[in-house]
Amino acid sequence: MMRSLYSGVAGLKTHQVKMDVIGNNIANVNTTAYKSSSITFSELMSQTTQKASGPNATTGAGGTNAKQIGLGVKAGAINTNISGQGSSQSTGNPFDIMITGSNFFVVSNGTDKFFTRDGSFYVDGGGNLAMTSTGYNVMGWGVDAETGDIKQDSVAALRIMSAANMTYPPEATSRAYVSGIMDKNDTNVTSASGKTINLNFFDSLGYSYTAKLNFKQSDVASGAGLNNYSLEFTKLLDSTGKEIDISGVKFGIQDNTQAKKSQVAFNSEAFKWDAATKTLQSADGTTSYADLTQMFDPATGALKALDTVTTVNGVNITVGEAVDSIAKAYGYDGSTEDFLNLYVKSTTAGKVGDPVSMETLLSNYALGVATDSFSAYVGETKFDVDGRFFDGSTVSYDGTNGTFAGIGGSATTSTVMLNLSQLGANFSDIEIDFSESSMFDNKGTSTIGATSGDLDGLGTGRRLGDMIGISIQSNGMIYASYDNGMTKLLGQIATAEFANASGLEKAGDNLYSATLNSGEFDGVGVDVTANGGYMSTGQLEMSNVDLSAEFTEMITTQRGFQANSRIITVSDTLLEELTNLKR
């Protein structure tokens, strides 16, 4: 038989293999992250009919080359264009991820690890990031519980939607600051009721509260050039508006005094005091408004709780209402507490003593204490007010340049502690900074207000947050966002890098397995950005098959197949002529 016949057969077989490679490339033209293959041919073998000989120096004859006849062709190698980057396809799905660079995603079926460029992922029923096509878990690194940073250790399945990640824990507010302008001509500030600002904060369970802080203007300190304001914690409301008892809460310094020169004058045209019954009555004596004997505890002299019900001439009123009636009789329009805390003295010569609070005077009158007391001045129509007692702090501003000038008389003190922890373990003390506030002319309007957290946003506190979204950064880090404004690092997608990526073995389903020639995976992986790569979300890598090149290769393969078939045809014709010799 002729050798050319077998050479033609080898050529046909080899071109068939090349056509198989081309066909597979074209079939996968739309396969996600498919890497095209190419085939190279090599000659099969050669039959040597005569060895090569060297030149003969004795005879002077020259050397001859070997005589060899080739016996056909074979597939030398099938190479995968593993490093060829496919084009990007936009999907809008945040879990579709494309790697730019030479790295591979690491996935696992629970036993073996595979590698892929197919970044079409989803979150399965267990909260794991997984391949859409196979369900294999995407591998990566978790977060160190102590540092909150990524811990690059052996890769593990990324369970990004665990029960612990679905919510962000609440935190109690621990810091706040007051900023804005305090205008000394603001009628709210100069009034008896003062200017109230709200501080909204959270406890450790995530419940929200509103602390009401009250500013009241004090007389300018003599010779100091300062404008002083009292600052008091007046009320605490929960999220439903219900008032919480703050009687045990310390705010600033206790028993401060605020200098505020004024007078309170008794309205004798509308009211009168009955000294015998110690009752405030209408001027005509037809109506009684307050009975001091029922308002104070006879054993201690202390004012009863403001919500305690008393009876005046058969009419039930509270102690608070009775105090308000007395305040009205003296023309005072401030709060009940402020009226009781006024420290006053008689205006009558010879009756001047140390200023005492209005509550003390009323108590002395109720209990019949005659020394330097209200009963000694029962006929007085007015009192000098030297100021008032309050629990809180004095906030000062420089009268020449309007800058903040300190708290409690100390120019170096800028914070006040609101000791809410006294209300329970779920509350945290809040340190309030006043250094960002100032005092300027703002057309009679104060813009001063309180904000939770410090200037850097620390200590703000928060309520319980529900997960509202997940984002994947270019380095593969996965963050969750929550409706309380917080974000949390959930993990990082790890990648694999190989010294010879072309040595990877295709395992089907867009997967590759490591081989001895590709290099082994170390079990840890690398950060995709370590060698200049990055991840893009909402995109997938397309196949890198070049259709124009494949069709060109198809033409040359077809012509090669045709030529090899002609070798067989012609060889057959020659053999036919040979068999015809016997005729």
Considering only 56-65, 304-313, 512-521, which range has the smallest mean pLDDT?
56-65
Q: Could you give the percent of the chain with pLDDT greater than 70?
A: 95
pLDDT at residue 442 tops 90: yes
- Average of pLDDT values for 265-271? 89
Q: What is the pLDDT of residues 133-185, one digit of tens each?
A: 999 999 999 999 888 899 999 999 999 999 989 999 999 999 999 999 999 99
User: What average pLDDT does range 425-454 have in this prediction?
Assistant: 95
| Burial zone of 277 (CB within 10 Å; 0-12 exposed, 13-18 middle, 19+ buried) | middle
3-27 and 547-579 are packed helices; what angle lies between their axes, rounded to 10 degrees? 160
Q: Report whether pLDDT(1) > 60.
A: no
- Find the mean pLDDT for residues 231-248: 92
Residues 64-110 have pLDDT tens digits of 888 888 888 899 999 999 989 999 999 989 999 999 999 999 999 99
How confident is the model at residue 252, as a pLDDT?
78
Average pLDDT over residues 294-309: 91
| pLDDT surpassing 70 at residue 351 | no
Q: What is the pLDDT of residue 372?
A: 47
As a whole number, the mean pLDDT across the chain is 90
Question: What integer pLDDT is reported at residue 57 of this predicted model?
Answer: 83
**How far lies 491's CA from each of 62, 376, 536, in Å?**
76, 78, 17
Poorest-pLDDT segment among 316-330, 373-387, 510-524: 373-387
Q: Do 428 and 174 meet the contact criterion of CB atoms below 8 Å apart?
A: yes
pLDDT tens-digit series, residues 397-439:
998 999 999 998 889 999 999 999 999 999 999 999 999 999 9
Give the integer Cα–Cα distance in Å for 72 and 215.
102
42-46, 184-188, 218-222: the lowest-pLDDT one: 218-222
How confident is the model at residue 4, as a pLDDT?
85
Handedness of CA 396, 401, 404, 406 (dihedral sign): negative
Block residue for tokens 């739309």: 30
Q: Which pair of tokens denotes residue 502?
A: 């072309």
H-type alpha helices, 103-206: 187-190
pLDDT of residue 181: 96
Write down the pLDDT at residue 53: 86
In 192-240, beta strands by DSSP E: 195-202, 208-217, 226-238
d(CA 265, CA 202): 44
What pLDDT is recorded for position 109?
94
